[in-house]
Amino acid sequence: MRPRKFFNGTAILALAIACGLGFPSVLRAQGTNPNKVVDMESQQDQNQQLKQKTLDQQQQQPAAPKIDPAEEAAYKDFFAASASPDTRIQLGTDFLAKYPTSVYTESVYSALVQAYLAKQDWKNFYATADKGLAAFPDDVTMLAVVGWVIPHVFDPNADDAQAKLDRAEKYEKHAIDIAGSMPKPAGLTDDQFAQTKVTLLSEAHSGLGLIYFRQAKYADSVSELQQATQSSPKPDQTDYFVMGVDLDRQSRFPEAADAYSKCAQINGGLAERCKQGAENSKKQASQPK
């Protein structure tokens, strides 16, 4: 699966106000590494395939109920529409309406959340996630992605701003607990399972890092973002940027310069800002104490 940008330059972090950096030109953090969320989508599709394999195995057992061929076909059509969010949303909505108790319901909810994320349709993204998590509170992929999105599209002036951050923190902590103890699904190799856990944990720690940044818990934010970037094969540029801000605010200037430098090495809209951040932090570090 090829990456797709789920967030454009106007939909990422409004960090100029939130960070209070000394960069007058910083109006909005742009170009968060699209692989961060796209990896989640790729992992989601892999998870659906694994669920399909597990269900296929269960269906081979004598006691397993036989699935309606029409239901099976509708499910396969739904996932075949992955290149078109609008088509997938329509097929998924139709599937849930026609087969509300299907063994595939959880998979459909998870993929619908991803489809609304692709469209940046936040109203339906949250509404679908709420329904999905109400029915399947341990779905680790929905927990991780919703907990990650909330602080990224955060409006500090909203009446429910703090409640949203609290909910995101709860989701990410629960995702970490599940990922740390979940058994290996049938059909996964040890390497695939290990990478699945790495991806999920990286996403969850990334989400927590930004949640704590929004709450001005800078030391906690650094700790989470370090875990997110150290374990991820494709670190998020925004994670390093926010980490640099966190460290600057704790007067840990050499570490901040390092975080900004790593941010600047990743292609994206924050590269120039991070170069400036690295230079400023190095100057601060060289000042007499």
- For residue 1, what are the CA distances in angstroms to 26, 35, 40, 207? 33, 11, 12, 23
On whether the pTM is more than 0.85, the answer is no
Q: How confident is the model at residue 2 (pLDDT cuts 50, 70, 90)?
A: very low
Say if residue 49 is in the same domain as residue 145.
Answer: yes
Q: At what angle do helices 140-152 and 35-59 cross, to 10 degrees?
A: 160
Closest CA to 133 of 162, 110, 164: 110
Residues 212 and 258 in one domain: no
Whether residue 230 is contained in a domain is answered as: no
Q: Are residues 21 and 8 in the same domain?
A: yes
Of the two residues 14 and 229, the one the predictor is more confident about is 229
Is 160 domain-assigned? yes
Residue 217 has pLDDT above 70, yes or no: yes
Determine the pLDDT at residue 121. 96
Residues 178 and 261 in one domain: no
Are 107 and 6 within one domain?
A: no
Q: Are 135 and 106 in contact (CB under 8 A)?
A: yes
Mean pLDDT of the chain: 81
Residue 272 confidence (pLDDT): 95
173 shares its domain with 115: yes
* 180/251 same-domain check: no
pLDDT, one tens digit per residue, over 48-103 is 544 444 444 444 444 456 778 899 999 998 888 767 899 999 999 999 999 999 99
- Same domain for 96 and 164, yes or no, is yes
**Total domains, the chain:** 2
**Upper half-sphere CA count for residue 247 (Cβ side, 13 Å):** 27
Tens-place pLDDT, residues 104-134: 999 999 999 999 999 999 999 999 999 999 9
Specify the CATH number for the domain of residue 48: 1.25.40.10
- At 133-161, the pLDDT tens digits run 999 999 999 999 999 999 999 999 999 99
Domain of residue 167, residue span: 36-54+66-219
192 shares a domain with 75: yes
| b/e 181-217 (16+ beta carbons within 10 angstroms → b) | eeeeeeebeeeebeebbebbbbbbbbbbbbbbbbeeb
Which has more confidence, 22 or 131? 131
Q: Looking at the structure, tell me whether residues 207 and 79 fall in a common domain.
A: yes
Last residue of a domain, one of 189, 219, 249: 219
Q: Hey, what's the torsion of the CAs at 50, 54, 59, 65, to 10 degrees?
A: -100
**228 within domain boundaries:** no
The answer on 272 and 129 residing in a single domain is no
pLDDT at position 61 is: 43
Looking at residue 16, its pLDDT comes to 33
Same domain, 111 and 214: yes
Share of the chain above pLDDT 70, in %: 77
